[in-house]
Structure 1
């Protein structure tokens, strides 16, 4: 379990669903904490707690590096293995989540994550206003996946420029692990850019859309260690372990999957091998940037898109600083987030 340096962690048994509902607020130093609602199966509810703690801390870093006036939080509903979420039970789960979020009096707002959708956010929104990414017709910014994919593409351009002196992705050999809502959209964007795509997913049904994009299909294990310019993790986290690092045959890793490193020292192992790793919370910030721009600042979709595409500049600056200081990009990003959080705390009035 990660170190507990959170402002607030609430664990309750949902009175309607009977399932563990975990809300972790890592930091509100920069402003209201934001972070998705993950409904996922776990062998033990404490595994869900570990996820909530790590993911909420990652959201704090994501917002800080992106320059957002928000902190990080996360909701996890730990569904026991073998439990089927029929529509009735799913609604009860979402109502339990809504009450847990509402109990925090606006210090935290949630949005979609693994296992939830904009439609689910509309259900949560029936009981609390502290929710993002409801469907557009329900007053929200809709599905965050397109913006997350677009932001990832911007990050990949910065990585490509760092490796080859050009942001153009045409001809780049990209191995993409995971064709979920973000991964499949990203694959489409990369195909449009002319990248040479190797793709994988645990769901064999994703082979058909991959074929339509002209991508080469392989297994997730083979995609992970394939020879590539850039490896793009876009599924669940923890795939970069100390054991797998020696097997990697890529020049760089940058993808939207959360918690890609099994442990923090893996970043140093990658650096020692000369593999450029851009922290996932930097790469995946597009969805949060878009939702907050549209729903909090009431910007137009075009204005929000400009903010999302600025991830390319953010990654470029981080890579430059890392090279200048001879540290990993992970260290450069952590230091930047810490400076912004420390500055925000210093501005807080003493009570």
Structure 2
């Protein structure tokens, strides 16, 4: 789970058709279940329903098609819970009232994260290269600021929720945030960027921990778990992040190394 990725390269607004999705579904089926596909950037549950016409190895379908629906809200919830743990460790309180959070990406995850942040009293600034996504934000969340340069903005939290590799030596030097916590995959251009963040006393919540909520949801769909069990597991993300902070403090290591240590310990325990 989470160990593979399939990509159709192209602008989904230009090339995505039922014919293309059907062809992709047949390709997934040809792998015989060694790979299970799901949604991500540029796809939605309606697309996955079409893919499911050609293969059983797909999760994230609409509930009418036997799935659990869009995984964006649960991914956003995991990011939010991770941020609460990071805030408590960094600032001594998980109260986000008045904190300025820059959300980069206003898609399925970013949109839902904005809703959670607003409910928690945070001030939110959002950017996205897709104008209709920003229009939706402006319509649904009056008072949210739309910006073009989140990394360079005056913010307390940087929440990358678009494409990855936005953090490198130059962007870290421009970052004013105390915490980086978002849903994007592979946020660090190279692993050594975390040390650059640490040198500036910027906390980075490892992306594969913060964005686990959606994966937990579709794993539940794959295994036939009920929604209460799935939501309880997603709720544990905050404790997991708090545990990673504790490991990092105790062992004097970076949070990325602490997360890897915890993951490796869990894998080893499962193999015994």
TM-score, structure 1 as length reference: 0.72
Match 1:218 to one of 147, 151, 170: 147
Unaligned runs of 5+ in 1: 1-33, 35-58, 60-71
Aligned 8 A contact 1:234 1:255 in 2: yes
The answer to whether structure 1 residue 120 and structure 2 residue 42 are counterparts is no
Q: Give the aligned partner of residue 335 of structure 1.
A: 261
Between 193-202 and 133-142, the greater mean CA deviation after superposition: 193-202
For residue 315 of structure 1, the aligned residue among 241, 257, 265 is: 241
Q: What number of residue pairs does the alignment pair up?
A: 270
Q: How does 1:130-145 map to 2 (within 5 A)?
A: 130-145=57-72
- Give the whole-Å Cα distance in 2 for the aligned partners of 1:82 and 1:95: 15
**Take 1:334 and 1:130, find their aligned partners in 2: how far apart are those partners?**
28
2:164 aligns to what? 237
User: Unaligned regions of 5+ residues in structure 2, if any?
Assistant: none
Distance in 2, Cα, partners of 1:103 & 1:340? 32
Aligned residues: CA RMSD: 2.0
Shift of 1:99: 2.2
For residues 30-66 of structure 1, give each alpha carbon's deviation from its aligned partner in whole angstroms, at most 9, with x where no partner exists. Answer: xxxx4xxxxxxxxxxxxxxxxxxxxxxxx3xxxxxxx
Q: 1:260 to 1:326 in 2, by over 3 A?
A: same
Listed as ranges, the matches of 1:154-169 within 5 Å are: 154-169=81-96
Deviation at 1:295, TM superposition (A): 4.1
Deviation at 1:333, TM superposition (A): 1.1
Task: Write out per-residue CA displacement over residues 200-219 of structure 1, whole angstroms, 9 at most, x where no aligned residue.
Answer: 22233415623634212211
Residue aligned with 1:240, SS: coil
SS of 1:175 mapped into structure 2: strand
Equivalent-residue separation in structure 2 for 1:247 and 1:313 (angstroms):
31
Larger fraction in helix: 2
Deviation sequence 1:310-330 (CA, Å, 0-9, x none): 111111111111111111111
Answer whether contact 1:132 1:291 (CA < 8 A) is retained.
Answer: yes
For 1:193 and 1:99, the matched residues in 2 are separated by 44
After superposition, the C-alpha distances for 1:232-291 in whole angstroms (9 at most, x for unaligned) are 111111110111111111111000011111111111111121110011111111011122
TM-score normalised by structure 2 residue count = 0.92
Following TM superposition, the consecutive aligned residue runs of length 4 or more in structure 1 with deviations greater than 6 angstroms are: none
Q: 1:188 and 1:213 mapped to 2: Cα distance?
A: 11
**Contact preservation (8 Å) 2:12, 2:42:** no
- CA shift at 1:115, angstroms? 1.4
Distance 2:5 2:199 in 1: 32
TM-superposed deviation, 1:185: 1.1
Distance 1:210 1:318 in 2: 36
